[in-house]
Amino acid sequence: MSLAIGAAVPAFTLPDTDGSPTSLRDAEAAATVVVFTCNHCPYALAWHERLQTVARDYRARGVRTLQINANDAARYPGDSPAAMAARVSAGEFAGPYLHDDTQEVARAWGAAVTPDVYVLDAAGRLAYHGAPDADYGEESLAAGWLREALEDVLAQRPVVLAETKPVGCSVKWRG
């Protein structure tokens, strides 16, 4: 079940790749981007740099970006905590990369694919859900749907395009 635009989202606290607990809520954040992603999916990889650029571009404007890997690492070793840590160490993430080992957060949020992008407003309500932009293969789109949503949220106006279809690899649930 996916979350409704305007609804409060389920809270979570998940470990980052150093094991430090990281919570969703941050009273200081003007907006929060949550991306369910992973290491092995070509869609997640294709959009990855665009998403990191957005995270860096909007950080100074109070936007927090949390990226979460919920895939079953037993069946997909490329999504293991060690592989996550290696990517973080290599500087591939512009923010915390969290591990949803129990998959409870992904289930509660209704995440279906990687990447699956959510934008929350300052009050923690869902303002955007969908894909970063219209085409994983077109770098020049620059995660435009996500950027437009953030501009609307930061201007405290309704997001014009609040929902798009997430496209990517299915979240790898435990058998």
Residue (57 or 135) nearer to other proteins, CB: 135
CA angle 168, 100, 130 (to 5 degrees): 30
User: What's the start-to-end Cα distance of the chain, in Å?
Assistant: 19
For residue 23 the two structure tokens come to: 């919570």
Q: Give the interface with other proteins as residue ranges (CB under 8 A).
A: 40-43, 45-46, 48, 76, 136-137, 139, 167-170
What's the min distance (Å) between Cβ of 168 and other proteins?
Answer: 8
What's the min distance (Å) between Cβ of 169 and other proteins?
Answer: 4
Residue (61 or 75) nearer to other proteins, CB: 75
What's the min distance (Å) between Cβ of 106 and other proteins?
Answer: 16
Residue (24 or 117) nearer to other proteins, CB: 117
Tell me which amino acid residue 11 is: A
Q: Contact 65/33 with Cβ under 8 angstroms?
A: yes
For residue 156 the two structure tokens come to: 């405290």
